[in-house]
Amino acid sequence: MRMLVLAAAAALAGGAHAAAPKAVTPGSGEVATAPQAGAPPPGSAAANPTGQAAPAATADAPAPAAVQDPTLNSDGSPRMIAVPHVGQPSDRAVDLQAQFTPNGQEAKAFHNHILMPVIVAISLLVLFLLAYVVIRFREKANPVPSKTSHNTAIEIIWTAAPVLILAAIAVPSIGLLARQFKPAPDNAVTIKAIGNQWFWSYEYPDYGGVSVTANMLKERNEVAAGQRYRTDADGPRLLAVDNRIVLPVGVPIRLITTATDVIHSWAIPAFWVKLDAVPGRLNETSFTIDKPGLYFGQCSELCGARHAYMPIAVEAVPVAQFNQWIQAKGGTLPGAAEAAAPSNAVIPQPGADTADATSAAGNTASDAGTPVVNATEAASPSTQRATGNGGGVGNVDQ
Protein backbone atom coordinates (compact mmCIF):
# COMPACT_ATOMS: atom_id res chain seq x y z
CA MET A 1 0.00 0.00 0.00
CA ARG A 2 2.82 2.40 0.87
CA MET A 3 4.47 1.74 -2.50
CA LEU A 4 1.24 2.55 -4.39
CA VAL A 5 0.87 5.85 -2.55
CA LEU A 6 4.48 6.85 -3.36
CA ALA A 7 4.01 6.01 -7.05
CA ALA A 8 0.83 8.11 -7.27
CA ALA A 9 2.55 11.09 -5.58
CA ALA A 10 5.44 10.93 -8.08
CA ALA A 11 3.00 10.94 -11.01
CA LEU A 12 1.16 13.99 -9.66
CA ALA A 13 4.43 15.88 -9.11
CA GLY A 14 5.50 15.30 -12.73
CA GLY A 15 2.12 16.45 -14.12
CA ALA A 16 2.25 19.72 -12.17
CA HIS A 17 4.94 20.99 -14.54
CA ALA A 18 2.82 20.45 -17.64
CA ALA A 19 1.52 23.48 -19.52
CA ALA A 20 -2.02 24.54 -18.79
CA PRO A 21 -4.51 23.55 -21.53
CA LYS A 22 -5.33 26.22 -24.11
CA ALA A 23 -8.61 28.01 -23.58
CA VAL A 24 -11.07 27.55 -26.45
CA THR A 25 -13.43 30.30 -27.44
CA PRO A 26 -16.95 29.01 -28.08
CA GLY A 27 -17.79 29.01 -31.76
CA SER A 28 -14.16 29.55 -32.84
CA GLY A 29 -13.78 26.05 -34.28
CA GLU A 30 -10.60 25.33 -32.26
CA VAL A 31 -10.08 21.97 -30.49
CA ALA A 32 -8.64 21.83 -26.98
CA THR A 33 -5.50 19.68 -26.70
CA ALA A 34 -4.32 18.30 -23.41
CA PRO A 35 -0.67 18.94 -22.53
CA GLN A 36 1.69 16.02 -22.64
CA ALA A 37 2.63 14.54 -19.31
CA GLY A 38 6.06 15.56 -18.17
CA ALA A 39 6.28 18.56 -20.54
CA PRO A 40 8.62 21.32 -19.25
CA PRO A 41 6.88 24.36 -17.79
CA PRO A 42 6.60 27.40 -20.09
CA GLY A 43 9.48 29.82 -19.74
CA SER A 44 11.85 27.23 -18.25
CA ALA A 45 15.30 26.48 -19.64
CA ALA A 46 14.03 23.17 -20.96
CA ALA A 47 11.18 24.83 -22.81
CA ASN A 48 13.54 27.47 -24.31
CA PRO A 49 16.91 25.78 -24.85
CA THR A 50 18.26 28.66 -27.01
CA GLY A 51 18.03 31.07 -24.11
CA GLN A 52 16.23 33.69 -26.23
CA ALA A 53 13.39 35.65 -24.74
CA ALA A 54 9.96 34.59 -25.84
CA PRO A 55 8.38 37.03 -28.34
CA ALA A 56 5.93 39.50 -26.84
CA ALA A 57 2.28 39.47 -27.85
CA THR A 58 1.64 41.23 -31.16
CA ALA A 59 0.41 44.77 -30.55
CA ASP A 60 -2.42 46.33 -32.49
CA ALA A 61 -1.44 47.72 -35.88
CA PRO A 62 -0.71 51.46 -35.69
CA ALA A 63 -3.50 53.75 -36.85
CA PRO A 64 -2.97 55.26 -40.31
CA ALA A 65 -1.52 58.74 -40.34
CA ALA A 66 -4.00 61.57 -40.59
CA VAL A 67 -4.38 63.09 -44.06
CA GLN A 68 -3.11 66.66 -44.14
CA ASP A 69 -5.50 69.34 -45.35
CA PRO A 70 -4.11 70.33 -48.79
CA THR A 71 -5.74 73.77 -48.64
CA LEU A 72 -3.79 74.90 -45.55
CA ASN A 73 -0.15 75.61 -44.82
CA SER A 74 1.61 74.03 -41.86
CA ASP A 75 0.76 77.06 -39.71
CA GLY A 76 -2.95 76.82 -40.57
CA SER A 77 -3.00 79.77 -42.97
CA PRO A 78 -4.78 79.33 -46.32
CA ARG A 79 -2.54 78.09 -49.11
CA MET A 80 -4.60 79.67 -51.90
CA ILE A 81 -4.81 83.44 -51.70
CA ALA A 82 -7.25 85.82 -53.35
CA VAL A 83 -6.23 87.26 -56.72
CA PRO A 84 -7.41 90.77 -57.66
CA HIS A 85 -10.06 90.92 -60.40
CA VAL A 86 -10.64 87.14 -60.20
CA GLY A 87 -13.76 85.88 -58.47
CA GLN A 88 -14.34 89.15 -56.65
CA PRO A 89 -15.51 92.72 -57.36
CA SER A 90 -13.07 95.14 -58.94
CA ASP A 91 -12.86 98.79 -58.00
CA ARG A 92 -14.31 101.13 -60.66
CA ALA A 93 -15.20 98.22 -62.95
CA VAL A 94 -18.28 98.60 -65.17
CA ASP A 95 -18.35 95.16 -66.80
CA LEU A 96 -19.57 91.85 -65.42
CA GLN A 97 -17.07 89.77 -63.47
CA ALA A 98 -14.90 87.34 -65.40
CA GLN A 99 -16.80 84.06 -65.73
CA PHE A 100 -15.41 80.62 -64.88
CA THR A 101 -18.29 78.33 -65.82
CA PRO A 102 -19.61 77.48 -69.32
CA ASN A 103 -23.00 79.00 -68.53
CA GLY A 104 -21.37 82.13 -67.18
CA GLN A 105 -19.20 82.58 -70.25
CA GLU A 106 -22.19 82.15 -72.54
CA ALA A 107 -24.29 84.54 -70.45
CA LYS A 108 -21.59 87.21 -70.45
CA ALA A 109 -21.16 86.91 -74.21
CA PHE A 110 -24.94 87.12 -74.64
CA HIS A 111 -25.02 90.26 -72.48
CA ASN A 112 -22.05 91.98 -74.14
CA HIS A 113 -22.62 91.01 -77.78
CA ILE A 114 -26.40 90.87 -78.10
CA LEU A 115 -28.23 92.66 -75.31
CA MET A 116 -25.97 95.70 -74.99
CA PRO A 117 -25.81 96.46 -78.76
CA VAL A 118 -29.59 96.09 -79.09
CA ILE A 119 -30.24 98.31 -76.06
CA VAL A 120 -27.80 100.96 -77.25
CA ALA A 121 -29.25 100.94 -80.77
CA ILE A 122 -32.85 101.30 -79.52
CA SER A 123 -31.86 104.05 -77.10
CA LEU A 124 -30.06 106.00 -79.83
CA LEU A 125 -32.99 105.54 -82.23
CA VAL A 126 -35.50 106.83 -79.67
CA LEU A 127 -33.21 109.76 -78.83
CA PHE A 128 -32.87 110.64 -82.52
CA LEU A 129 -36.64 110.48 -83.07
CA LEU A 130 -37.29 112.70 -80.06
CA ALA A 131 -34.73 115.27 -81.23
CA TYR A 132 -36.13 115.17 -84.79
CA VAL A 133 -39.69 115.72 -83.60
CA VAL A 134 -38.69 118.55 -81.29
CA ILE A 135 -36.77 120.37 -84.02
CA ARG A 136 -38.82 119.49 -87.11
CA PHE A 137 -42.27 120.09 -85.70
CA ARG A 138 -41.65 123.06 -83.46
CA GLU A 139 -44.05 125.96 -83.86
CA LYS A 140 -41.59 128.25 -85.67
CA ALA A 141 -40.64 125.64 -88.28
CA ASN A 142 -44.17 124.29 -88.67
CA PRO A 143 -46.73 127.06 -88.12
CA VAL A 144 -49.53 125.01 -89.71
CA PRO A 145 -49.55 121.55 -88.10
CA SER A 146 -50.40 118.49 -90.11
CA LYS A 147 -53.75 116.79 -89.48
CA THR A 148 -52.47 113.32 -90.41
CA SER A 149 -53.72 110.74 -87.88
CA HIS A 150 -52.71 107.40 -89.50
CA ASN A 151 -49.84 106.04 -91.56
CA THR A 152 -50.07 102.40 -92.50
CA ALA A 153 -46.38 101.92 -93.31
CA ILE A 154 -45.20 103.47 -90.05
CA GLU A 155 -47.70 101.46 -87.99
CA ILE A 156 -46.52 98.19 -89.58
CA ILE A 157 -42.90 99.07 -88.93
CA TRP A 158 -43.30 100.03 -85.27
CA THR A 159 -45.31 96.85 -84.64
CA ALA A 160 -43.17 94.36 -86.56
CA ALA A 161 -39.76 95.70 -85.54
CA PRO A 162 -40.18 95.10 -81.75
CA VAL A 163 -41.58 91.63 -82.44
CA LEU A 164 -38.57 90.70 -84.56
CA ILE A 165 -36.14 92.13 -82.01
CA LEU A 166 -37.75 90.20 -79.14
CA ALA A 167 -37.76 86.98 -81.18
CA ALA A 168 -34.06 87.38 -81.96
CA ILE A 169 -33.29 87.88 -78.27
CA ALA A 170 -35.58 85.06 -77.09
CA VAL A 171 -33.81 82.28 -79.01
CA PRO A 172 -30.44 82.45 -77.18
CA SER A 173 -32.08 83.62 -73.96
CA ILE A 174 -34.40 80.62 -73.60
CA GLY A 175 -31.57 78.22 -74.45
CA LEU A 176 -29.34 79.78 -71.80
CA LEU A 177 -32.14 79.64 -69.23
CA ALA A 178 -32.72 75.95 -69.95
CA ARG A 179 -29.02 75.14 -69.56
CA GLN A 180 -28.89 76.97 -66.24
CA PHE A 181 -31.51 74.64 -64.76
CA LYS A 182 -30.50 71.47 -66.55
CA PRO A 183 -30.35 68.57 -64.04
CA ALA A 184 -26.86 67.59 -62.98
CA PRO A 185 -25.47 64.30 -64.39
CA ASP A 186 -25.14 61.20 -62.24
CA ASN A 187 -21.43 61.72 -61.56
CA ALA A 188 -21.93 65.24 -60.17
CA VAL A 189 -20.56 66.29 -56.79
CA THR A 190 -23.48 67.20 -54.55
CA ILE A 191 -23.16 70.06 -52.08
CA LYS A 192 -25.98 71.25 -49.88
CA ALA A 193 -25.91 74.93 -48.86
CA ILE A 194 -28.01 75.84 -45.82
CA GLY A 195 -28.81 79.47 -45.10
CA ASN A 196 -28.96 80.62 -41.48
CA GLN A 197 -29.19 84.00 -39.81
CA TRP A 198 -26.47 85.01 -40.53
CA PHE A 199 -24.02 82.42 -41.79
CA TRP A 200 -23.85 79.48 -44.20
CA SER A 201 -23.41 75.81 -43.43
CA TYR A 202 -22.61 73.11 -46.00
CA GLU A 203 -22.89 69.34 -46.32
CA TYR A 204 -21.38 66.82 -48.75
CA PRO A 205 -23.92 63.96 -48.67
CA ASP A 206 -21.98 61.63 -50.98
CA TYR A 207 -18.70 61.85 -49.05
CA GLY A 208 -19.45 60.41 -45.65
CA GLY A 209 -21.18 63.41 -44.17
CA VAL A 210 -18.49 66.09 -44.37
CA SER A 211 -19.91 69.33 -42.96
CA VAL A 212 -18.55 72.89 -42.96
CA THR A 213 -19.79 76.03 -41.20
CA ALA A 214 -18.64 79.35 -42.69
CA ASN A 215 -18.75 82.74 -40.98
CA MET A 216 -17.44 86.10 -42.05
CA LEU A 217 -14.00 87.06 -40.74
CA LYS A 218 -13.84 90.33 -38.84
CA GLU A 219 -11.23 93.01 -39.24
CA ARG A 220 -8.21 93.19 -36.96
CA ASN A 221 -9.54 96.14 -34.97
CA GLU A 222 -12.84 94.32 -34.39
CA VAL A 223 -11.54 91.25 -32.54
CA ALA A 224 -9.89 90.68 -29.20
CA ALA A 225 -6.22 89.87 -28.92
CA GLY A 226 -5.40 86.32 -29.97
CA GLN A 227 -8.52 85.85 -32.08
CA ARG A 228 -8.44 85.25 -35.81
CA TYR A 229 -9.03 88.22 -38.07
CA ARG A 230 -9.14 88.80 -41.83
CA THR A 231 -5.93 89.16 -43.80
CA ASP A 232 -5.38 89.93 -47.47
CA ALA A 233 -4.73 86.22 -48.05
CA ASP A 234 -8.23 85.39 -46.80
CA GLY A 235 -9.96 87.67 -49.29
CA PRO A 236 -11.57 91.11 -49.54
CA ARG A 237 -13.29 92.83 -46.66
CA LEU A 238 -16.82 91.53 -45.98
CA LEU A 239 -16.18 88.55 -48.29
CA ALA A 240 -13.56 86.48 -46.41
CA VAL A 241 -14.76 83.54 -44.31
CA ASP A 242 -13.18 81.36 -41.65
CA ASN A 243 -13.93 78.08 -43.48
CA ARG A 244 -13.99 77.98 -47.27
CA ILE A 245 -15.89 75.30 -49.11
CA VAL A 246 -13.82 73.26 -51.56
CA LEU A 247 -15.10 72.06 -54.94
CA PRO A 248 -13.36 70.17 -57.76
CA VAL A 249 -12.53 71.69 -61.13
CA GLY A 250 -13.94 70.16 -64.31
CA VAL A 251 -16.57 68.08 -62.50
CA PRO A 252 -20.30 68.94 -62.58
CA ILE A 253 -21.51 70.36 -59.27
CA ARG A 254 -25.05 69.76 -58.04
CA LEU A 255 -25.99 72.67 -55.76
CA ILE A 256 -28.94 72.16 -53.42
CA THR A 257 -30.08 75.07 -51.27
CA THR A 258 -32.42 75.37 -48.32
CA ALA A 259 -32.70 77.47 -45.16
CA THR A 260 -33.52 77.06 -41.50
CA ASP A 261 -35.19 80.40 -40.74
CA VAL A 262 -35.91 82.93 -43.51
CA ILE A 263 -35.29 83.12 -47.26
CA HIS A 264 -31.64 83.48 -48.24
CA SER A 265 -29.96 83.34 -51.65
CA TRP A 266 -26.66 81.62 -52.52
CA ALA A 267 -24.93 83.67 -55.21
CA ILE A 268 -21.47 83.55 -56.83
CA PRO A 269 -21.25 86.12 -59.67
CA ALA A 270 -18.18 84.46 -61.24
CA PHE A 271 -20.17 81.21 -61.62
CA TRP A 272 -23.34 82.91 -62.90
CA VAL A 273 -25.19 81.19 -60.05
CA LYS A 274 -27.89 82.67 -57.85
CA LEU A 275 -30.27 80.23 -56.16
CA ASP A 276 -32.76 81.05 -53.41
CA ALA A 277 -32.60 79.08 -50.15
CA VAL A 278 -36.17 78.74 -48.89
CA PRO A 279 -37.12 77.16 -45.54
CA GLY A 280 -38.92 73.88 -46.05
CA ARG A 281 -37.94 73.60 -49.72
CA LEU A 282 -35.01 72.28 -51.75
CA ASN A 283 -33.89 74.21 -54.82
CA GLU A 284 -31.34 72.76 -57.22
CA THR A 285 -29.07 73.89 -60.02
CA SER A 286 -25.79 72.72 -61.50
CA PHE A 287 -22.57 74.23 -62.81
CA THR A 288 -19.01 73.24 -63.72
CA ILE A 289 -15.97 75.28 -62.66
CA ASP A 290 -13.37 75.70 -65.41
CA LYS A 291 -10.26 76.87 -63.55
CA PRO A 292 -8.81 76.53 -60.04
CA GLY A 293 -9.09 79.66 -57.98
CA LEU A 294 -10.79 81.47 -55.12
CA TYR A 295 -14.27 82.82 -55.81
CA PHE A 296 -16.45 84.98 -53.58
CA GLY A 297 -20.14 85.75 -53.28
CA GLN A 298 -22.78 86.88 -50.80
CA CYS A 299 -26.31 86.21 -49.71
CA SER A 300 -28.43 88.02 -52.29
CA GLU A 301 -31.82 88.01 -50.56
CA LEU A 302 -32.66 90.47 -47.78
CA CYS A 303 -32.71 88.20 -44.72
CA GLY A 304 -32.51 90.44 -41.70
CA ALA A 305 -30.35 92.91 -39.84
CA ARG A 306 -27.01 91.29 -40.75
CA HIS A 307 -27.86 90.31 -44.30
CA ALA A 308 -24.70 92.06 -45.57
CA TYR A 309 -22.49 89.79 -43.45
CA MET A 310 -23.17 86.41 -45.05
CA PRO A 311 -20.26 85.97 -47.47
CA ILE A 312 -19.51 82.87 -49.54
CA ALA A 313 -16.00 81.68 -50.42
CA VAL A 314 -15.40 78.76 -52.81
CA GLU A 315 -11.94 77.30 -53.33
CA ALA A 316 -11.83 75.40 -56.63
CA VAL A 317 -9.05 72.80 -56.78
CA PRO A 318 -8.09 69.81 -58.96
CA VAL A 319 -9.96 66.57 -58.36
CA ALA A 320 -7.03 64.85 -56.62
CA GLN A 321 -6.66 67.73 -54.18
CA PHE A 322 -10.41 67.74 -53.55
CA ASN A 323 -10.32 64.03 -52.70
CA GLN A 324 -7.45 64.65 -50.29
CA TRP A 325 -9.41 67.48 -48.64
CA ILE A 326 -12.40 65.17 -48.20
CA GLN A 327 -10.19 62.59 -46.48
CA ALA A 328 -8.60 65.27 -44.30
CA LYS A 329 -12.08 66.23 -43.11
CA GLY A 330 -12.83 62.63 -42.17
CA GLY A 331 -15.00 61.86 -45.17
CA THR A 332 -14.99 58.84 -47.44
CA LEU A 333 -14.56 58.68 -51.21
CA PRO A 334 -17.15 56.81 -53.27
CA GLY A 335 -15.96 53.93 -55.43
CA ALA A 336 -15.88 54.08 -59.22
CA ALA A 337 -19.28 52.38 -59.50
CA GLU A 338 -20.79 54.63 -56.84
CA ALA A 339 -19.38 57.77 -58.44
CA ALA A 340 -20.93 56.88 -61.81
CA ALA A 341 -24.30 56.00 -60.25
CA PRO A 342 -26.96 58.51 -59.22
CA SER A 343 -26.56 59.90 -55.72
CA ASN A 344 -28.48 57.88 -53.15
CA ALA A 345 -27.97 60.29 -50.27
CA VAL A 346 -31.21 61.36 -48.62
CA ILE A 347 -31.44 65.15 -48.55
CA PRO A 348 -34.68 66.11 -46.77
CA GLN A 349 -36.07 69.53 -46.15
CA PRO A 350 -35.27 71.19 -42.82
CA GLY A 351 -37.69 69.92 -40.21
CA ALA A 352 -38.47 66.72 -42.11
CA ASP A 353 -39.10 63.53 -40.14
CA THR A 354 -36.34 61.65 -41.98
CA ALA A 355 -32.81 62.73 -41.19
CA ASP A 356 -30.28 62.78 -43.99
CA ALA A 357 -27.04 60.86 -44.14
CA THR A 358 -25.07 63.88 -42.97
CA SER A 359 -26.95 64.29 -39.71
CA ALA A 360 -26.56 60.74 -38.37
CA ALA A 361 -25.75 60.36 -34.71
CA GLY A 362 -22.07 60.03 -33.97
CA ASN A 363 -20.99 61.74 -37.15
CA THR A 364 -17.50 63.11 -36.60
CA ALA A 365 -16.62 64.09 -40.17
CA SER A 366 -16.86 67.80 -39.55
CA ASP A 367 -14.31 70.46 -38.86
CA ALA A 368 -12.60 69.97 -35.54
CA GLY A 369 -13.95 72.50 -33.09
CA THR A 370 -16.41 73.94 -35.59
CA PRO A 371 -20.11 73.70 -34.79
CA VAL A 372 -22.09 71.88 -37.45
CA VAL A 373 -25.54 73.18 -38.23
CA ASN A 374 -27.89 70.28 -38.83
CA ALA A 375 -30.30 71.20 -41.58
CA THR A 376 -32.91 68.86 -40.15
CA GLU A 377 -33.13 70.76 -36.89
CA ALA A 378 -35.52 73.63 -36.37
CA ALA A 379 -34.05 77.10 -36.34
CA SER A 380 -33.05 78.29 -32.89
CA PRO A 381 -34.98 81.35 -31.71
CA SER A 382 -32.04 82.51 -29.62
CA THR A 383 -29.45 85.04 -30.73
CA GLN A 384 -26.38 83.26 -32.09
CA ARG A 385 -22.74 84.30 -31.85
CA ALA A 386 -19.83 84.03 -34.25
CA THR A 387 -17.52 81.07 -34.81
CA GLY A 388 -13.97 81.32 -36.04
CA ASN A 389 -13.91 84.71 -34.35
CA GLY A 390 -14.21 83.61 -30.77
CA GLY A 391 -17.90 82.93 -30.28
CA GLY A 392 -20.65 80.44 -30.99
CA VAL A 393 -22.60 79.81 -34.19
CA GLY A 394 -23.45 82.85 -36.30
CA ASN A 395 -22.01 86.36 -36.22
CA VAL A 396 -24.59 88.52 -34.54
CA ASP A 397 -22.05 90.01 -32.14
CA GLN A 398 -19.97 91.66 -34.86
Q: Which domain holds residue 123?
A: 102-136+156-180
Asked if residue 389 is part of any domain, the answer here is: no
Residue 347 counted as domain residue:
yes
Strands across the sheet containing 273-277: 245-248, 311-317, 293-299, 264-268, 273-277
Q: String of b and e for 103-118 (b: at least 16 CB within 10 Å)?
A: bbebbbebeeeeeeee
Pairing of strands 245-248, 311-317: parallel
What are the DSSP E strand ranges found in 249-324? 252-259, 264-268, 273-277, 283-288, 293-299, 311-317
Question: Beta partners for 279?
Answer: 259
Q: How confident is the model at residue 348 (pLDDT cuts 50, 70, 90)?
A: low
Q: How many residues does the chain have?
A: 398
**φ, ψ of residue 12 in degrees (nearest 5):** -65, -40
Q: Are residue 259 and residue 132 in the same domain, yes or no?
A: no
Residue 225 and residue 174 share a domain = no
**Whether residues 253 and 275 fall in one domain:** yes
Determine, yes or no, domain membership for 79.
no
What is the distance between the alpha carbons of residues 114 and 170, in angstroms, rounded to a whole number? 11
pLDDT of 210 > 80? The answer is yes
Q: Are residues 250 and 287 in the same domain?
A: yes
- Average pLDDT, integer, range 54-68: 55
Q: Is residue 60 part of a domain?
A: no
pLDDT tier at 238, thresholds 50, 70, 90: very high
**Of 203, 398, 212, 235, residue with least CA distance to 311:** 235
Domain at 254, CATH number:
2.60.40.420
Q: What is the DSSP letter of 80?
A: S
How many domains are contained in the chain? 2
Instruction: State whether 203 and 321 are in the same domain.
Output: yes
Q: Is residue 122 part of a domain?
A: yes
Same domain, 123 and 241: no
pLDDT-wise least confident of 14-23, 97-106, 373-382: 373-382
Spatial CA neighbour of 230 closest among 346, 389, 352: 389
Does the residue 376 lie in any domain?
no
pLDDT above 60 (res 347)? no
In this structure, are 294 and 352 located in the same domain?
Answer: yes
Nearest to 194 by CA among 79, 64, 303, 61: 303
pTM of the model: 0.67
Per the CB < 8 A criterion, the answer to whether 213 and 201 are in contact is yes
Would you say residue 170 lies in a domain? yes
> Do 214 and 130 belong to one domain?
no
Q: Classify 192 as helix, strand or coil.
A: strand
Three-state DSSP state, 311: strand
Confirm if 345 and 356 have CB atoms less than 8 A apart: yes
